[in-house]
Structure 1
Amino acid sequence: MSVLSQIFGSGCSLEVQFDHEPQRKMAPLGRDRKGEKALIYSDGEDVSGSAMVSMKPGKKIDHQGVKIELIGQVDMLYDRSNSYDFFSITKDLEPPGTLVESKSYKWKFSSVDKQHETYYGINVRLRYLVRLTIVRNYASNILKEMDFVVQNLQPAPEINNSLKMEVGIEDCLHIEFEYDKTKYHLKDVVVGKVYFMLVRIKIKHMELDIIRKETTGSGNSGTSDSETISKFEIMDGAPVRSECIPVRLYLSGFDLTPTYRNVQNKFSVKYFLNLVLVDEEDRRYFKQQEIVLWRKKIG
């Protein structure tokens, strides 16, 4: 059961509650994994619950209706005024009139299209919420919002090719690296190999990084931010020619999301595997390769 309420100076309090489903899991709402959590729903599922307007004794509210909305929204965190509702469903709970006593309502949004997952990033968030509103003519509306989380499970991709590339510096370094595939679910394991075909520089160590790149906007107004999600050392010490270094990186321990591609023309989130070699003078040589992440459907 999830409840949100607040008392207003107008003489009433609003409460929103999702239907109690013991088996339904919860997930963090923000980037803090230990912060506030909300119920998880998936694409096509019903979203239902109840709402209550609790009046203080002797108080009354003239209004133009009471409504409940289910909203999908993209917010630019650096400009809170730049908020975009990519869908909104409204149900009227009460026609215009006067509230003089407390009232409760049941609400349900059936088979809701929720194709985009909830996302909280550096500059943007994609959120889903239920909003209860008392609409008023000559005063500010009274409203309360409650978020929920959307996570969508996907079947394994039909095509998932391996990746094999050669990179190097002329007459100094030549390596060949191979990953078993280019698309990974969030609990997957990256398996690969790095072959040293030519080594004429003194390598100190090698690591495999996971990079998340968040892009908001487009064109000249676009903004990109990259963050390193993990650094995983796969070799310590100088390799020799013909040496083969195995790669095995478990993704389940990292804070990852699925890949987002141009969501509502507002933002994208991409992931990269960054193979980094560091020599004894701390010079860094790297090769970056994009991968696709998805949330696995079991069975």
Structure 2
Amino acid sequence: MLEKERLQEKERSPGLFGRLLRKVDGCVVRFIFDGKMDESMVTVDDPYERTSERMHLFSGSEPVCGRVVLTPKGTYRHNGILLELVGVITTFGESEEKIDFMRQEKKFEPDTFCSMTSLEFHFTAPREYESYRGTNARVSYYVRATIYRPVKNITEVEEVWVSKVDAYLSGTQSDASRHPSYFRETVFGPQSISMDVGVENVLHIEFKYDKKIFHLQERVLGKVTFKVADMDIRCGEVGVVRKEFIGPGKSTDAMQSETLQKFEIMDGTPVVGEVVPIRLYLRSIPHLTPTYPNVHNCFRVLYFLNLVLITGEGKRYFKQQEITLYRRHGQEVPTGSMTQSP
């Protein structure tokens, strides 16, 4: 049985300077979210930094509400407090760039207190994009508390994870996983897509699959038919490729390609007329996300089915076809992640 790789959990406590500053400043800051328990936090993997982090999960329309608890060591005076929900897009290229694409705030007047004090917040601003961890791009949401002090301001943040269900595609696309013949169906309907791949006069194949739009826990059903097979083929693979484009959607955008998972579908040279079936279950692919066609004109994330044929000499012939992935109800937890057990 395959086991999910466990990454090192990211340190959530403040660094040494932050701990010293808070000790000198004389106040501890803590975030509490209404209706959210530590046991229900999701574990979000960052496979590129090789770390994982636990966060509270929110839907795109769910209010982010709770309170910031301030515990002073004694009498504590401030010049005002600002609580914010901030959405940040970060892209990595020749330099790191950050864009705040959404912000909602609540201000508190200057005050003095000497016991534990709670400041409530209720943020309802729409969150247009999902949280995302990519190779060269990220979407992050933070609840941020800024305490204005006479000497130095204090800032504490708590990141939350936002997951969005695609209501339109959920309502217009049938859920093949609910079909009684889901695990044995071999009939291709009117939504099926075909691709012809040829290498001069020595290879001609037809790559056919059942449709182009899939939810994150669906399966891809397909077949490869060999019409001409006068080539020494060692093996064939089908994989899912993610392409991350950094830029406003032009042909000059920087692109990062990553094969998330691949499967061997054949071994050895086929004969003319041979049909190789394909069943690829998307829910088994870690770190799969929906397709993001345009994230604030900063980046986009597209997915492709990749058919690769490898000859006995090691040459590789491939054909890619774009597919669209979306999130349905019940798929809010990030793919490849899990909730924390109590």
Question: Is the TM value for this pair above 0.5?
Answer: yes
| Preserved contact between residue 32 and residue 68 of structure 2 (Cα < 8 Å) | yes
Identify the residue that residue 166 of structure 1 maps to in structure 2: 196
8 A Cα contact 1:50 1:104, kept in partner: yes
Q: Secondary structure at the match of 1:140?
A: coil
Where in structure 2 are the equivalents of 1:211-222 lying within 5 Å?
Answer: 211-218=241-248, 222=253
2:318 aligns to what?
A: 286
What CA distance in whole angstroms lies between the structure 2 residues aligned with 1:143 and 1:183?
43
Higher mean alpha-carbon deviation, 213-222 vs 282-291, is at: 213-222
Asked if the contact 2:244–2:300 (Cα under 8 Å) also holds between the matched residues in 1, the reply is yes
For residues 28-107 of structure 1, what are the structure 2 equivalents within 5 Å?
28-32=43-47, 35-57=52-74, 60-63=76-79, 65-77=80-92, 82-92=97-107, 94-107=108-121
Give me the TM-score of the superposition, normalised by structure 1.
0.88
- 1:157–1:97 distance in 2 versus 1, CA, 3 Å: closer
Structure 1 residues 198-237: aligned runs within 5 Å? 198-218=228-248, 222-237=253-268
Scaled by the length of structure 2, what TM-score is found?
0.78
CA gap of 1:139–1:75, structure 2 versus 1, over 3 A, is: farther
8 Å Cα contact 2:306-2:318 kept in structure 1 = yes
Q: Residues 182 and 295 (structure 1 numbering): CA distance in 2 closer, same or farther, change over 3 Å? A: same
Identify, as 1 or 2, the structure richer in helix.
Answer: 2
For 2:301, give the aligned amino acid. Answer: V
Unaligned runs of 5+ in 2: 1-11, 175-190, 332-342
Q: Alpha carbon RMSD of aligned pairs, Å?
A: 2.6
Cα distance in 1, alignment partners of residues 96 and 219 from structure 2: 40
Alignment partner, residue 292 of structure 2: 260
Alpha-carbon distance between aligned partners in 1 of 2:228 and 2:120, rounded to the nearest angstrom:
70
Which structure 1 residue ranges, 5 or more long, are not aligned?
Answer: none
Q: Cα offset for 1:60? A: 3.5
Q: Which has the higher strand share?
A: 1
CA distance in structure 2 between the aligned counterparts of 1:62 and 1:212, rounded to whole angstroms = 48
What are the superposed Cα offsets for residues 112-132 of structure 1, whole Å, 9 maximum, x if unpaired? 312211101111110111011
33-42 vs 235-244, which moves further: 33-42
